[in-house]
Homo-oligomer: A and B are copies of this chain.
Amino acid sequence: MDTSAKLAKIRKQLHDGGYKLTPQRESTVLVLLENDKDHLSAEEIYMLVKQKSPEIGLATVYRTVEMLTELKVVDKISFNDGVARYDLRKEGAKHFHHHLLCLECGSIQEVEEDLLLEVEKTVESQFKFKVSDHRLTFHGVCKECQNKA
């Protein structure tokens, strides 16, 4: 699926939620689509949107990502560095993907395969806890940094 198809889908999600896809919101969504391998903070999104639409305000970006989180277009995640980051949901993903955070270089790699199906079953039966989503981040050293050392 290409960018414009993804954008059309998100436009529909907004409409279904009672929101309009204004130019500012469209610019913000496009930045997210173009940087879907990154994990941008609101401030970083703002900087990128500003390059194409210099008149946008930071508060609008915050309001937009909050709305996108509510609509489950993006997932909000924090890697313990004090800023919230926003990550596009993968196409058709039932659950949030996992992350590999390198403690050496700070890179964040994504793991789309859901490795927690068995673990979730265990949690549901052992704790009677109904799982709706998860956050899983591994801390360690990435392949590249291992080779450097």
Chain A residues in the interface with B (C-beta under 8 A)? 76-78, 80, 82, 84, 100, 102-103, 109, 111, 115-116, 118-120, 122-123, 127-143, 146
Identical chains in the assembly: 2
Give the chain B neighbours of A111 by CB distance below 8 A: 123, 127
22 sampled A-B residue pairs with Cβ under 8 A: A76-B80, A100-B123, A100-B129, A102-B129, A109-B127, A115-B119, A115-B123, A118-B118, A127-B143, A128-B143, A128-B146, A129-B141, A129-B142, A129-B143, A130-B141, A131-B140, A132-B141, A133-B138, A133-B140, A134-B138, A135-B136, A136-B137
* Nearest CB of chain B from residue A29's CB, rounded to whole Å: 21
* Nearest CB of chain B from residue A35's CB, rounded to whole Å: 21
Interface centre among A118, A127, A142, A146 (most CB of B within 10 A): A127
